[in-house]
Amino acid sequence: MLVNAAYLTSPVQEHGATTAVSGPLTVEGGLMVWTVLVFLLLLFVLKRFAWPAILGAVEAREKALEAQLAQAAKDREEAAALLAEHKKLIGEARSQASGIVVEARVVAEKERALAMEKTKQEQEELLARARREIAAERDRAVADLRREAVDLSLAAASKLVGARLDSETDRKIVMDYLATLDTGS
């Protein structure tokens, strides 16, 4: 449906009276009174019923935010305390570790000293045993040499004397003589 633009902007004549067409920029007293009245009624209803609920929700939200901020501050303090405790524990662990390392070095040094001492003792024992064995072998060799010397002396004496003497008695005489020679030298 097409509407004539002149019809909307020009005054309309009805039964002989001229009336202006109402528009958004025209002021009408009755409409203004009803608008203000409806506005005030709406304001009263909102103030009476909606405003407390809105304020309650805002206050509840504000309290929740404050509680969350307090919890966050508490959590931050706990985290800082845990971090400090963690750093303290790490420091203690490091000091214990360095103590253990120092203790291990001391123990290792003692073990090394004990091993050196044990090795030295074993070496001295081996040397003493070797000396004893050498002395025993020397004594056996000297005893063997003496027997040989006695046998040779007896053999030479019997050749000189021309008769064979009793070997056991002769040996005893020669051994006694050689024993006097050993103590004299």
101-154 per-position pLDDT tens digit:
999 999 999 999 999 999 999 999 999 999 999 999 988 888 888 888 777 777
Residue 171, Cβ density class (10 Å: 0-12 exposed, 13-18 middle, ≥19 buried): middle
What is the arithmetic mean of pLDDT over 45-58?
A: 90
Asked if the structure places residue 165 within a domain, the reply is no
What is the domain count for the chain?
A: 1
Query: What per-residue confidence (pLDDT) applies to 17?
Result: 55
Any domain includes 99: yes
Q: What is the pLDDT of residue 166?
A: 67
pLDDT by residue (tens digit) across 21-42? 667 788 888 888 999 999 999 9
Q: Is residue 169 part of a domain?
A: no
Whether 115 maps to a domain, the answer reads yes
Residue 82 C-alpha from the chain's centroid: 17
Chain Cα centroid distance, residue 140: 68
* More confidently predicted of 65 and 171: 65
Alpha helices in the chain (DSSP H): 5-9, 29-45, 51-161, 167-184
Contact 175, 148 (CB under 8 A): no
Residue 128 inside a domain? The answer is: yes
Q: Is the full-model pTM beyond 0.75?
A: no
In a domain, residue 101? The reply is yes
- The residue among 159, 25, 157, 129 whose CA lies nearest residue 174 is 157
Q: Is the pLDDT of residue 20 over 70?
A: no
In a domain, 145, yes or no: no
pLDDT tens, position by position, 55-86: 999 999 999 999 999 999 999 999 999 999 99
pLDDT, residue 10, reads 46
The answer to whether residue 44 is domain-embedded is yes
**What pLDDT is attached to residue 163?**
53
| Per-residue pLDDT, 69 | 95
Domain of residue 71 covers 38-133
In this prediction, residue 184 carries a pLDDT of 64
